[in-house]
Structure 1
C-alpha cells in the first residue's frame, strides 16, 4: 500500500470532516422535519377537536332553542307557536320601558294582543301621518314541553306594526303585522336601547 503524503492525508481528513458535517446536517434536517410533522399533526388534532366541540356546542344550543313563529295575524294581534319540536307552553313578553306596557304572560292562548300596545303607540304617533309603520323590539322568554321536561329560551323579536285611518270616531287604528326574530339572548336594557333607535319620531 502506498504511503499517503501529508497533503493527501490532510485532504482525506477534510473529506471525512465534510461527510461527517453532511451527515450531521441531514440528521438535524430529519429531526426538524419530524418535529414539524409532529407539530402539524398535533395542530390538526387540536383543530379537529375544537371543531367537534364547537359542533357539539351548536347542536346543544339548537336543541335548547325555542324559536317562535306566527300561527296567525289578525286585528286581535299575533298568535304565536313554537317552531321547535315541542309544543309551546308559555311565553313571558317584555316591552320597551318607554312604552309603559307591563310584562305579559301567555299560557293557554299564546296571543300578543294589539290592544296592549294600541294606546301608547297611537299616542306616540299622534299628529303625524295616519298611515305609519315600524317595529317594536320585545324580549320573549318562550317555554315548551318535551318528554324530558320543559326547556326555555330568551330571545329578542321585532313586532311589526302599522297605523291607518278608520279607528274609533274616524280616528286611527293600530294593528300588528308580524313577528321577526332578531337575536338569541338579551335583556331589558337591550330592548330599551333598540327602541330608542326605532321609536317613531314625533310629528313636527
Structure 2
C-alpha cells in the first residue's frame, strides 16, 4: 500500500466532502420534490372536492327554485303559475316603497291585480300622454308544495303596464301587459334601489 502524501490526503478529503455535499443536495431535492408532489395532489383533491360541492349546491338551488310564468294576461290582471315541477301554493308580492302599495298575499287565486297599482301609477304618470307604457319592479316570494316538501324562492320581476284613454269620467285607465323575471333573490332595499334606477333612467 502506497502511503499518501499530505497533498493527496487533502485531495481525498476534499473529494469525499464533495460527494457528501452532492448526496445531501440530492436528498434535499428528493424531499422537496416529494413535498411538491404531495402538495399538488392535495390541491387537486381539494379543487375536485370544491367543484363537487359547488355542483351539488347548484343542483340543490335548481331543485328549490320556484320560477313563475303567466297562465293568462289581460289588462285587469295577470294569473301566475309555477314553472317548477310543483303546484304554486302561495305568493307574497311586494312593491316599491315609493308607490305606497301594501304587500299582497295570494293563496287560492294567484293573480296580480291591476287595481293594486292603478291609483299610484295613474297619479305618477298624470300630466303626460294618455297612452303610456312602462314597467315597475316587484318582489315575489313564491312557494310551491313538492313531494319532498315546500319550496320557496324570492325573486325580482318586471311588471309591464300601460295607460290609455277611457278611464272613469273620460280619464285614463291603467292595465297590465306581462311579467318578466329580472333576477333571483333580493329584498325590499334592493327592490327600492331597482325602482329608483329605473325611474332615473326613464327621466334621462
TM-score (norm 2): 0.89
Q: Which residue of 2 aligns with 1:59?
A: 59
* Alpha carbons 1:155, 1:185 under 8 Å: kept: yes
Q: Compute the displacement of 1:40 (Å).
A: 1.1
| 2:121 maps to 1:121 | yes
* Alpha carbons 1:81, 1:110 under 8 Å: kept: yes
Runs of 4+ more than 4 Å apart: 200-203
Q: How does 1:125-204 map to 2 (within 5 A)?
A: 125-199=125-199
Report which stretch shifted further, 164-173 or 183-192: 164-173
Report which stretch shifted further, 155-164 or 36-45: 155-164
- Sort the Cα spacing of 1:118 and 1:176 in 2 relative to 1 into closer, same or farther, 3 A: same
How many residue pairs end up in the alignment? 203
> Aligned partners of 2:37, 2:94: CA distance in 1, in Å?
56
Q: Secondary structure at the match of 2:127?
A: coil
Q: Secondary structure at the match of 2:2?
A: coil
Q: Which residue of 2 aligns with 1:47?
A: 47
Q: Which residue of 1 aligns with 2:34?
A: 34
* Alpha carbons 2:135, 2:161 under 8 Å: kept: yes
Segments of 5+ residues of structure 1 without an aligned counterpart are: none
Q: Compute the displacement of 1:150 (Å).
A: 1.9
* Alpha carbons 1:158, 1:180 under 8 Å: kept: yes
Question: Per-residue displacement from partner, 1:92-136 (whole Å, max 9, x unpaired)?
Answer: 111112212222122222111112111211111010122322221
